[in-house]
């Protein structure tokens, strides 16, 4: 530090005056208390949205797991039911003959056009 | 032999040891260990107070600025690179917190007390004529000149450090100091002859 100080030895009184104007509290008790106040405010910050989020993470994970399980069960049941219906429909004979059952679907315009083209 | 061991055991930590210890505290605080941050507060709060006190007008405002400053530092801790000097970074934050507080006070005072001149310094004794006049002389300086002279002549910060803290070029800090000294000399000239 190459800076020249304002006051020489004759101005000690002025320097001490300045020091007393700007003196920091000297007791350890004061600094301990200030530290405690600072750390209390820091703790308030810690209880902000991160902590709030952290607090909700476990219930959220549990709820998500329950939801996932319920969805899985529902999907499994739906799948089972679909399979049962398919099996039942295979084992049950159709109420009408196949040709009768199919024929009405061949009577639309498109089919008529195809017949007309191939029939010529 | 015992004495030698005692001296060896209780020797003062070297600056590099202190730096390494501080770095470890910073890294631990960054990991979220509040005890480490408390240790950093303990280490730096007096110097932080001195920085704030040089900028704001009262002891109470300095206290507020110190708390605000540490809070800002805590929130910004993850952006701090542990290899940098922690003190310089922290004192810049303290200076910013103090400057913010001064600005807020000015706005408030302009809104609420347009015709009053605030008593800028706490001076509980006020018995000493020199101190009273010194106090008065300091009010004649600009806020920045006062901050610069206190940070430099009382707290020992360099022009470069003061410039970084107050957000001004080093040359401006130097010139502020020069003008502050000249003003104080002028204002205090007749005090000494009167006393």
Shortest CB distance from A31 goes to which of B46, B150, B181?
Answer: B46
The confidence score (pLDDT) of residue B124 equals: 47
Name the more confident of A10 and B163.
B163
Q: What is the per-residue pLDDT for A59?
A: 84
Distance CA A22, CA B147 (A): 11
B191 to chain A, closest Cα gap in Å: 10
Q: Taking the CA of residue B108 as centre, how many other CA atoms within 13 Å lie in the half-sphere pointing to its CB?
A: 7
d(CA B165, CA B163): 5
Q: Are B151 and B91 in contact (CB under 8 A)?
A: no
Which residue of chain A is at minimal alpha-carbon distance from B181?
A6
CB contact under 8 A, B70 and A42: yes
Question: Mutate which of A7, A10, A22, A41 to disrupt the B interface (most B C-beta within 10 Å)?
Answer: A22
Q: Which residues, including other chains, have CB under 8 Å from residue A99's CB and lie 6 or more apart?
A: none
Q: What is the pLDDT of residue A119?
A: 74
Per-residue pLDDT, A2:
44
Q: Compute the mean pLDDT over every residue in chain B, rounded to the nearest whole number.
A: 82
pTM above 0.80, yes or no: no
Tell me the pLDDT tens digit for each residue of B98-119.
999 999 887 877 666 544 444 4
Which residues of chain A carry a pLDDT beneath 50? 1-2, 4, 6-7, 9-10
Q: What is the pLDDT of residues B116-144, one digit of tens each?
A: 444 444 444 444 677 787 888 888 889 99
* Whole-angstrom distance, CA of residue A95 vs CA of residue A105: 17
For residue A3, list chain B residues with Cβ-Cβ distance below 8 A: 152, 158-159, 177
Measure the CA–CA gap between B139 and B145, rounded to whole angstroms. 10
Measured between beta carbons, the chain A residues lying within 8 angstroms of B158 are 1, 3
B157, closest residue in chain A (CA to CA): A1
The answer to whether B34 contacts A35, with C-beta atoms less than 8 Å apart, is no
Give the whole-number percent of chain B exceeding pLDDT 90: 47
**Residue A114: what pLDDT?**
76
Q: Do A17 and B34 touch (CB under 8 A)?
A: no
Q: How far is B182 from B121, CA to CA, in rounded Å?
A: 21
B119 vs B50, which has greater pLDDT? B50
């Amino acid at each position: 530090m190459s800076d020249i100080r304002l006051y020489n030895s004759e101005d000690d009184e002025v320097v001490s005056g300045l020091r007393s104007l700007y003196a920091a509290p000297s007791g350890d008790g004061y600094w301990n208390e200030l530290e405690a106040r600072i750390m209390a405010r820091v703790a308030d910050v810690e209880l902000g949205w991160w902590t709030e989020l952290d607090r909700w993470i476990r219930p959220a994970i549990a709820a998500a797991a329950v939801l996932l399980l319920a969805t899985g069960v529902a999907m499994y049941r739906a799948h089972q039911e679909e399979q049962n219906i398919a099996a039942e429909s295979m084992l049950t004979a159709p109420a009408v003959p196949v040709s009768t059952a199919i024929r009405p679907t061949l009577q639309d315009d498109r089919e008529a056009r195809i017949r007309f083209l191939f029939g010529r | 032999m015992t004495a030698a061991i005692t001296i060896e055991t209780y020797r003062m930590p070297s600056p590099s040891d202190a730096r390494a210890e501080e770095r470890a505290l910073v890294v631990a605080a960054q990991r979220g260990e509040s005890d480490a941050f408390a240790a950093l507060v303990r280490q730096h709060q007096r110097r932080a107070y001195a920085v704030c006190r040089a900028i704001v007008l009262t002891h109470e405002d300095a206290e507020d600025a110190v708390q605000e400053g540490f809070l800002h530092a805590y929130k910004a801790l993850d952006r701090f690179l542990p290899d940098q000097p922690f003190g310089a970074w922290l004192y810049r934050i303290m200076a910013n917190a103090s400057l913010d507080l001064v600005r807020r006070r000015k706005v408030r005072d302009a809104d609420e007390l347009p015709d009053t001149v605030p008593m800028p310094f706490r001076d509980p004794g006020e018995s000493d004529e020199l101190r009273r006049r010194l106090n008065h002389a300091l009010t004649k300086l600009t806020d920045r000149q006062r901050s610069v002279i206190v940070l430099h002549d009382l707290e020992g910060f360099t022009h470069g450090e003061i410039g970084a803290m107050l957000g001004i070029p080093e040359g401006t800090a130097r010139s502020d100091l020069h003008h502050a000294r000249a003003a104080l000399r002028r204002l205090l000239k007749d005090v000494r002859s009167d006393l």
